[in-house]
Amino acid sequence: MDSISPLSDDLLARFAAITGPANALTSPDLLARYLVEPRDLYAGRTRLVLRPASVEEVSAILTLANETRTPVVPQGGNTGLVGGQSPRSEGEIVLSLERMNRIREIDPVGRVLVVEAGVVLAQAQSAAEEAGLLFPLSLGSQGSCQIGGNLSSNAGGTGVLAYGNARDLCLGLEAVLPSGEILNGLRKLKKDNRGYDWKDLLIGAEGTLGIITAAVLRLFPRPAGREVAYVGVKTPQDALTLLGIAERRVGGQLTGFELIGRQGMAFTLAHTKGARDPLEAAHPWYVLVEISSSRSGEDARQAMEEVLEAAFEASAVEDAAIAPSLVEAERFWTMREELSWAQKPEGGSIKHDVSVPVARVPDFLAEADAAVLAAMPGARIVAFGHLGDGNIHYNISQPLGADKAAFLARWHEIADIVHGIVAGYDGSFSAEHGIGQLKRDDLAGAKAGPEIELMRRLKGVFDPYRILNPGKVV
């Protein structure tokens, strides 16, 4: 870890004066929720959490931080999975955007939503829905993750197949640079070729180049109809065949296509309240399919039935169940969204967020399974994810009866095996979760040469004193 000097009481007081004492938290009881992240991999440390209420306060905080060389760790909903939001020492300040939670504007004609960084994703979804529109970013943590964090990590989720990543859903940004300068780029333009687009540098940078304080988000027409089905298949290759049939027949109407292995389904059934197997018999693999229609519910239903009929004729599926109601459709999705949390009661879990070319997903799964089980007999592999965009969450639960600490101690050994196989398919070891602390060293090795050097130069241009989120990404 880089050497970081402790914060003096005088400096703490100067920072606290910017937000006011009520929003400069120093009590250990109040600090605790900012220091524990979802996977319990990193124990954060800080003496101060600042909660600014405006872009001007963020600017004042960074101006002082730059002047005094004080490291600042921006934090949204604290839902990140790679330690990017966790402060590493008491010499670092956490800057929480949670009070910057206003919806500034909704434009139904231009189909845009202007929100502050602390707006919770579910709140943005609800605002769009009230206007008869759709904000399609959808994540398991949408009840607590915040828009600033979604953009800073270029979040993916289940809607990428039809709508793209967070970067694709953002037209403009307001942000504060490490110097304290405010960049006001809250433009609603879909076409703007006036030079370099700095917003795309900040999106996905995990708060290392600047702090996002507000964004212009793209909205879409709400589907008039939506059908959801669980499909049982023998192999991932059969799932790919089903994907091809669906894409050829319904194109952009295919709004969800999630692959789930049997082990993951078993954990979900065991540990998710109200979950029940959607199919009569157990299957090696399941696919959650969603088809939406701009015309009607009947149109969506017909499209789903046609896709499944063609898949049965091609012998690509073994069984299928279409949700009989909207309530059941939501239950189908809940089972998918709870899959990550359903692994916790089973003990330690070594997790990977990888992507490979879509056509190579079956090959990757077969090779990774063989290598992991050879290295760790009895490991329970929980593979699931967004097959339509090649993003697989390749998680490994500890063998039954294994010691959790000893199992987790092999994290990097197993990760090296999995990431080495991913590299062989010219894939990525970070598909949607980011780099943070967990994968910083992996990034340096994977992008050796001009790519990593260019990233370091950019960091130096934006943040010459390296005060923003030190020890993360680069």
Q: What are the tens digits of pLDDT across the range 421-438?
A: 999 999 999 999 999 998
Give the CA-trace dihedral at 238, 240, 241, 244, to 10 degrees.
160
Quickly count: other Cβ atoms within 10 Å of residue 27's Cβ. Answer: 8
User: What does the block give as tokens for 114?
Assistant: 């202007």
pLDDT confidence band for 5 (50 / 70 / 90): confident
How far apart are the C-alpha atoms of 371 and 278, rounded to whole Å?
Answer: 31
Axis crossing angle, helix 361-375 with helix 236-250, rounded to the nearest 10: 160
Could you give the C-alpha distances from 361 to 143, 195, 236, 254, 422, in angstroms and in order?
A: 30, 38, 8, 19, 10
pLDDT band at 169 (very low <50, low <70, confident <90, very high): very high
pLDDT at 3: 64
pLDDT above 70 (res 2): no
Mean of the pLDDT values across residues 79-88?
92
Q: Return d(Cα 148, Cα 133) in angstroms, integer.
A: 21
For the four alpha carbons of 441, 445, 451 and 454, in that order, the dihedral sign comes to positive
282-299 burial, b if ≥16 CB within 10 A, otherwise e?
Answer: ebebbbbbbbbbeeeeeb
Tokens 């009929």 label which residue? 309
Q: Is the pLDDT of residue 69 over 60?
A: yes
Q: Which domains does the chain have, with CATH numbers?
A: 9-99 (3.30.43.10), 103-221 (3.30.465.10), 225-340 (3.30.70.2190), 343-438 (3.30.70.2740)
d(CA 317, CA 231) in angstroms, rounded, equals 7
What pLDDT sits at residue 22? 97
Structure tokens at 196: 């370099």
Mean pLDDT confidence for 86-110: 97
pTM above 0.85, yes or no: yes
What's the full length of the chain, in residues? 474
Cα–Cα distance, 197 to 46 (Å, whole number): 34
What are the C-alpha distances in Å from 109 to residues 164, 188, 406? 21, 11, 57
> Could you give the CA distance from residue 22 to residue 16 in angstroms, rounded to a whole number?
9
pLDDT tens track for 11-49 = 999 999 999 999 999 999 999 999 998 888 888 999 999
Q: Is 73 exposed, middle or buried (0-12, 13-18, 19+ CB in 10 A)?
A: buried
- What is the tens place of the pLDDT at every residue in 115-142? 999 999 999 999 999 999 999 999 889 9
**Which residues contact residue 301 at a Cβ distance below 8 angstroms, ignoring those fewer than 6 apart?**
225, 227, 322
